[in-house]
Structure 1
């Protein structure tokens, strides 16, 4: 796999345009990615924040110093020196190049102000305390940068950059496929929610409105009277349905669980209507008429409280799954969450 290293080229600009061109050309010949002042003039705090980010993303740092100190920042230090200090502070591999004959430079390329010259010489002394090299022409600089960077890469191998198609490992590809599938599921879920939201629920049965179910039990089975049935009618509200089935459908639940919870609600309702009968029957004796289940299922979907499950499952799993919508979860939490006043009532009863 081919890696390309990114190199930050730090220097003053106007007086070193030709030198920078030779350096950039040398970096490109080494399949490196040059980065530096050509991308952003260092003139304000926002630019400085951007410069630090680019230095952080680079593998190596190249410093070029000639006869100019450069633009000075708010703290009285040139941006070139600030870049160098930041590279040292962050432990970036550095190579420095100083002009060997600044006395022979044109006047336009030399600092004229005494106080700026003092800062420049102080900066040079700081750089000389580390390993640095000297150059005398743009061509000489380009060649030395090329050879020095080859040695620096051997001594300090950088992470580098690779083309996206080469960086796509099987593991990453698998993760991307999973994310695409998840996005598709979420998009489908959003479409379903939008479709449900289009239904006007203001005139639909909901909340404390009730639904009825008729249960028949053979209370005294015998050979002589095989059809001795007792009929009981129960009513339960849509809020009660959500209280019972909601927890089973959080994060998706099977239709079997859905029906089980409805039968449990009917079973408990029989106690309210006929306590004596309740004592003689068991939960497994409770039937759930198909017409009642279908009505509940359709109504909860129309109210936007439940939706079809969308999680991936094995091919052999033929079960139907249902899931609470966000609206359904809010409704469940509002109905089931314990409130302080409820706890106070329980405490008073116990006392």
Structure 2
């Protein structure tokens, strides 16, 4: 069996959660996890926290009875770390105190407005995160971690870190799985089943309507908005085409679309919230994303192109799609400057 280790970023409101953080870190180390996180936050530490989240396998929110120190935008640092983790599609698990009101007064926010934000944030986590577990004592917290972290590994498997001397076993397992995949594909008589051959083709300037969600920030608070957006297929090809010039994993369909919506969503948000100053956590509707991918394949703009060494499906722009990207046919519909995504 491979000796794997996983990195967990722990986000808390601050120093008042030090006893819980110590128990959490000790328990995780004993289970084979590396724990990261920051207790004291400043505007300068935000970039460091984001780098840690980028590199981690899982994000853990440890919520007691405080919202914690706020950033200059009025949003708490713990809240911002949660938002960033979600935008990066990191698996999130929450351990929150079962009865925050029963905790000592010194462990609560002093300002009434922060106490209200704490309640809103706690409710947000309960509504948005699938893996939320409660505790009352430090012993409860330890047992909850021991019980539920192995389930996180099963529900949200990640690569993790493998000791160098064990990499040969990993390569052998990959080779075995590759051979098994080839055999199954050969027996089925075709490598990919295409259920979308009946889709009608679309024109470049035909509009496609889809829904996406985002968080919009105004006056120190945020609101989740559902937005109906219309774009031409030329615009969609402009957004996604550059990402798939080279064979690129399928997950970059959603990553690039969400990145684009985060970059441009402020104008959409201001229709409902005129004083909105920022947006985050934009997520395109998964069915709409599926339709975009299927339609682009039917139009012969993009096709599957094998698998990488992690057995992820790779996609690449066709010669037809490349010619469209290089022509001036899309110029009137270009909506942003391309950025490299892979």
TM-score by length of 1: 0.46
Bigger Rg, which one:
1
TM-score by length of 2: 0.47
